[in-house]
């Protein structure tokens, strides 16, 4: 009688610890990684306690149980294991069983939101439930960002501060990413830059969303000119900037190790540098041609073709013609190079007209003409 009265006062009894057992199915994010789950039974709670939690509610397949996921419990323990709480309530019961779940990731992958399966057993009743929107975090994070756009070297103008826009996209399909820091270092020509290389960026990147790293750089003109002096191949970089991005996935992710993004660059001289190179090369080419003795037949033909007298001396006209021809060839080469990204071939030599040294050599070859080219060809023969 006493027991009956007490039971009437208390209402339906809550489930006691151990009456419900659950098991969480493992996941395999990639072929070389997996995530197991460790479950601890932390006893039972009353229905009133359950009402004060921020939970997502899921119904089991056979409607035997209700599973509540406490989204406010998403956190890390002292050893950085990701953890959260589940509350399993049997149909018709006022209380629930409290389970604490740890994620045990193995291998490298990027964090994501997943659906996990839960098997539930209680007093001869077996059921299962699928829980959605559960953050799955790696212990060793994969690349959170990928660079998009062209992989060709980026042109950086000499003599001025430049901004380089590097488009990136988040590899997190359903989690935000927070960029913590970005550092930049030259890998092959540290003296080609002056001052500190800096970057600006969006602090938060949406799932699978685009973003950009904007690098502010200032080339050291003399060192950069030397580094790019004989860079003929327009597809070959003259330096590579290593951009290190540290970021953190949302909903409890760990800060990643610095992710390295390589940015190949080529130094682009200003018009003043190219014009100086062309004029100097024209003068040298013309001077060398004048020093090369002409063959008797060539001298006679030249004398017959060009009048000896005129407004300007013959050598002055030859000089002006040489400079003008070199300038025209350089301008034509720049137009061709910028539109087709193709090097210019002058008397059999393949040169990049957008660089100082090749422009200088183009002017020498054009102003010097066949006599200079012939002498150079003879000199480089093995």
Residues constituting the chain: 382
The third-level CATH classification (topology) of the domain covering 145-268 is Immunoglobulin-like (2.60.40)
Instruction: Give, in order, the Cα–Cα distances in Å from 12 to each of 3, 92, 122.
Output: 13, 9, 17
pLDDT at 298: 52
pLDDT at 342: 59
Degrees, nearest 5: CA angle 200-203-209: 105
pLDDT at 58: 96
The CA R_g of the chain, rounded to the nearest whole Å, is 37
Residue linked to tokens 């002498």 = 375
Q: What is the 3-state secondary structure (H, E, C) of 328-378?
A: HHHHHHHHHHHHHCCCEEECCEEECCCCHHHHHHHHHHHHHHHHHHHHHHH
pLDDT at 337: 64
Rounded Cα gap, residues 376 and 226, in angstroms: 23
Q: What is the 3-state secondary structure (H, E, C) of 218-241?
A: CECHHHHHHHCCCCCCCCCCCEEE
pLDDT at 8: 39
C-alpha 374: how far from its chain's center?
48
Strands 65-76, 55-59: pairing kind = antiparallel
Give mean pLDDT in consecutive 10-residue pieces for the chain, a chain of 382 residues: 40 50 96 96 91 91 95 93 95 92 96 97 92 95 94 88 94 96 94 93 95 94 78 77 96 94 89 81 82 60 52 73 75 65 57 74 79 71 53
pLDDT at 44: 92
- The residues that bridge with 181 in the sheet, in sequence order, are 246
- CB atoms inside a 10 Å sphere around CB 368: 26
| Cβ–Cβ under 8 Å, residues 362 and 351 | yes
pLDDT at 230: 63
Widest Cα–Cα separation across the chain: 140
Instruction: Write down the domain spans for the chain.
Output: 2-140, 145-268, 272-380
Q: Which two tokens stand for residue 360?
A: 């200088």
Single pTM value for the model: 0.75
First to last CA, the chain: 117
């Amino acid at each position: 009688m006493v027991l009956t009265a007490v039971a009437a006062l208390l209402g339906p009894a809550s489930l006691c610890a151990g009456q419900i057992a659950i098991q969480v199915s493992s996941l395999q994010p990639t072929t070389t990684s997996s995530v197991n789950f460790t479950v601890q039974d932390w006893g039972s709670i009353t229905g009133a306690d359950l009402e004060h939690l921020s939970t997502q509610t899921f119904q089991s397949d056979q409607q035997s149980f209700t599973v509540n996921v406490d989204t406010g419990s998403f956190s890390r323990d002292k050893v950085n294991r990701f953890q959260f709480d589940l509350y399993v309530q049997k149909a018709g019961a006022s209380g629930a069983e409290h389970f604490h779940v740890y994620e045990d990731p193995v291998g490298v992958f990027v964090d994501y939101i997943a659906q996990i399966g839960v098997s539930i057993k209680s007093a001869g009743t077996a059921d299962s439930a699928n829980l959605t929107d559960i953050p799955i975090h790696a212990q060793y994070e994969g690349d959170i960002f990928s660079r998009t756009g062209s992989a060709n070297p980026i042109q950086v103008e000499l003599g001025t501060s430049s901004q380089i826009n590097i488009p990136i996209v988040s590899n997190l399909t359903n989690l935000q990413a927070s960029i913590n820091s970005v550092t930049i270092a030259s890998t092959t020509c540290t003296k080609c830059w002056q001052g500190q290389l800096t970057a600006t960026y969006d602090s938060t990147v949406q799932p699978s969303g685009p973003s950009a790293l904007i690098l502010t750089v200032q080339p050291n003109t003399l060192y950069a000119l030397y580094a790019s002096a004989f860079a003929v191949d327009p597809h070959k970089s003259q330096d590579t900037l290593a951009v290190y991005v540290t970021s953190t996935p949302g909903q409890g992710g760990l800060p990643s190790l610095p992710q390295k993004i390589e940015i190949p660059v080529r130094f682009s001289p200003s018009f003043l540098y190219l014009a100086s190179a062309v004029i100097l090369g024209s003068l040298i080419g013309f001077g060398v041609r004048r020093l090369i003795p002409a063959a008797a037949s060539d001298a006679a033909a030249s004398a017959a073709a060009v009048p000896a007298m005129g407004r300007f001396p013959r050598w002055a006209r030859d000089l002006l013609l040489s400079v003008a021809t070199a300038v025209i060839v350089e301008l034509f080469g720049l137009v061709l190079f910028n539109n087709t990204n193709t090097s210019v071939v002058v008397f059999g030599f393949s040169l990049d007209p957008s660089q100082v040294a090749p422009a200088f050599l183009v002017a020498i070859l054009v102003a010097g003409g066949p006599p200079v080219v012939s002498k150079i060809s003879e000199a480089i023969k093995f």
